[in-house]
């Protein structure tokens, strides 16, 4: 008889069972496109959603369905939808609530891909938007219009790691009957449960911590069953953004170590953040696990861990920042995050390059900002890599000036 499992146990066992025919413990991979039915009535019932089942590969497959059930259980949602990328999840979640003439409020600290979708594609659908400071609930409420239909936030934000109060935002939005969509990518279900805090929909780029091995593009949307069913039929299926069986299989395999991986990412990131904060060549460090972070106390109440992302500004700005990441020997320059390897990137010219400079500066994304996805290597080796790069960055005369 099943008991109420902890998160670590659920990650391994939830919705997964040995194959009833072969006894295989490893997840069965079913890449089929077409599925046969015993009669026309059963086929019609599956298509109508009256019976559980898959009828065509564009709307899902048995392997991805196992994964969807697991993700829904981990996030505490009624159902989940697996799609082909994180941006597919973000765009489907937004289009699930928005149509021509509608307006959406979006946190000003937002991933560059989300910004690009809103500024380039949303206007083609006649969708309006405003970027607002969601750390200020009153300002957020004042920005609500008669045609506002949703509020979209990400917390911690990318790349400055601003923490938003999901509970307060959700409570405020309920008075206006506005659904709250939360990008939970940086946390994973291990560290933060937005639905339990009052949010309506959660999105993930599963490419990151959920898969955790840098070899799959995927996304998830979690919410109420009818909402997910609409997104499956009318958005994912019709737009062809489905998650294929092989990628679902790889995620199911990668997820079995997610709890261990996330724990190591967090502990390593805390050490790297503390090292950087104490370094004379670093101006600012953004990490919610530091007492200097403006939302440190909120993070402790809302999150079970502080995550694996650390951002910082090196003294000297853009030129020195690029010199620094070019001098790293262990860490690699890359756009992604959540991999076993430590990855660094320069948001202004990489992940957030689609945002004009004047807008980036409003969002606090300076030209000298560096984002680190802290990997699973030994923390001392990661620190040693940054130490040698920082030591080589400035000449002896420059060092005296900077450290005064």
**Cβ atoms 118, 106 nearer than 8 A:** yes
Task: Please confirm, yes or no, whether 208 is among the known catalytic residues.
Answer: yes
Evaluate whether 7-255 and 259-402 have a shared fold: no
- The half-sphere exposure of 249 on its side-chain side, counting CA atoms within 13 A, is 12
The torsion angles phi and psi of 194, rounded to 5 degrees, stand at -55, -35
Instruction: Say how far apart CA 97 and CA 86 lie, in whole Å.
Output: 18
Identify the active-site residue in 108, 208, 261, 264.
Answer: 208
Tokens, residue 297: 């106390």
Q: Is the pTM of this model over 0.85?
A: yes
Instruction: Say how far apart CA 14 and CA 70 lie, in whole Å.
Output: 6
Q: Burial, 344: exposed, middle or buried (Cβ in 10 Å; 0-12, 13-18, 19+)?
A: buried
Task: Please confirm, yes or no, whether 58 is among the known catalytic residues.
Answer: yes
Average pLDDT over the chain, rounded to an integer: 93
- What is residue 242's predicted lDDT score, i.e. its pLDDT? 97
Instruction: Say how far apart CA 366 and CA 385 lie, in whole Å.
Output: 24
Instruction: Say how far apart CA 110 and CA 157 lie, in whole Å.
Output: 6
Beta partners for 205? 219
Asked if the model's pLDDT at residue 395 lies above 80, the reply is: no
Tokens, residue 221: 């949307």
Asked if the model's pLDDT at residue 243 lies above 90, the reply is: yes
Q: Which residues contact 258 (CB under 8 A, 6 or more apart)?
A: 11, 188, 190, 209, 210, 212
pLDDT tens figures, 377-394 = 999 999 999 999 999 887
**Cβ atoms 236, 82 nearer than 8 A:** no
- What is residue 2's predicted lDDT score, i.e. its pLDDT? 55
pLDDT tens figures, 344-362 = 998 877 777 777 777 777 7
How many other C-beta atoms can be found within 10 angstroms of the C-beta atom of residue 166?
25
Identify the active-site residue in 102, 165, 183, 385.
Answer: 183
pLDDT tens figures, 151-169 = 999 999 999 999 999 999 9
Task: Please confirm, yes or no, whether 322 is among the known catalytic residues.
Answer: no
Identify the active-site residue in 111, 152, 209, 287.
Answer: 111
Tokens, residue 327: 């001098």
Q: What is the domain class of 259-402 according to CATH?
A: alpha beta
The residue extents of the domains of the chain are: 7-255, 259-402
Task: Please confirm, yes or no, whether 253 is among the known catalytic residues.
Answer: no
Give the pLDDT band of residue 1 (cuts 50, 70, 90). very low
Q: Beta-strand (E) ranges in 158-264?
A: 180-183, 201-205, 219-223
Give the pLDDT band of residue 231 (cuts 50, 70, 90). very high
Q: Which CATH number fits domain 7-255: 3.40.462.40, 3.40.640.10, 3.40.50.300, 3.40.50.1980?
A: 3.40.640.10
Identify the active-site residue in 10, 35, 56, 58.
Answer: 58
- Closest CA relative to residue 167, chosen from 137, 209, 147: 137
């Amino acid at each position: 008889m099943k008991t109420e499992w902890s998160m670590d146990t659920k990650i391994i066992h939830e919705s997964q069972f040995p194959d009833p025919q072969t006894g295989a413990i490893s997840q069965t991979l079913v890449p089929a496109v077409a599925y046969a039915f015993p009669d026309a009535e059963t086929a019609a019932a599956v298509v109508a959603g009256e019976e559980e089942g898959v009828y065509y590969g564009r709307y899902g497959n048995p392997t991805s369905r196992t994964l969807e059930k697991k993700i829904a259980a981990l996030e505490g949602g009624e159902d989940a939808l697996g799609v082909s990328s994180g941006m597919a999840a973000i765009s489907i979640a937004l289009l699930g609530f928005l149509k021509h003439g509608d307006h959406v409020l979006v946190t000003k600290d937002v991933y560059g891909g989300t910004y690009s979708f809103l500024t380039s594609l949303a206007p083609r659908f006649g969708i309006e938007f405003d970027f607002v400071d969601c750390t200020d609930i009153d300002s957020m409420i004042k920005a609500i219009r008669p045609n506002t239909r949703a509020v979209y936030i990400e917390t911690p934000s990318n790349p400055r790691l601003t923490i938003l109060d999901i509970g307060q935002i959700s409570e405020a939005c309920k008075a206006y009957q506005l659904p709250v969509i939360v990008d939970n990518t940086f946390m994973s279900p291990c560290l933060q449960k937005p639905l339990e805090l009052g949010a309506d929909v959660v999105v993930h780029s599963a490419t990151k911590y959920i898969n955790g091995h840098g070899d799959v593009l995927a996304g998830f949307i979690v919410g109420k069953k009818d909402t997910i069913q609409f997104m499956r039929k009318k958005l994912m299926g019709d737009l062809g953004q489905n998650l294929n069986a092989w990628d679902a299989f790889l995620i199911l395999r990668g997820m079995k170590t997610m709890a261990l991986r996330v724990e190591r990412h967090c502990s390593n990131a805390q050490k790297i953040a503390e090292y950087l904060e104490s370094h004379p060549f670093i101006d600012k460090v953004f990490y919610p696990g530091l007492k200097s972070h403006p939302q440190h106390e909120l993070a402790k109440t809302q999150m079970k861990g502080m995550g694996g992302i650390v951002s910082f500004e090196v003294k000297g700005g853009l030129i020195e920042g690029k010199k620094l990441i070019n001098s790293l020997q262990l860490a690699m320059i890359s756009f992604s995050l959540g991999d076993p390897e430590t990855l660094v990137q320069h948001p202004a010219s990489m992940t957030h390059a689609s945002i004009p400079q004047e807008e980036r500066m409003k969002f606090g994304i300076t030209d000298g900002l560096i984002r680190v996805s802290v990997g699973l290597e030994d923390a001392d080796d990661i620190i040693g890599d940054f130490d040698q790069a920082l030591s080589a960055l400035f000449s002896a005369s420059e060092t005296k000036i900077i450290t005064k």
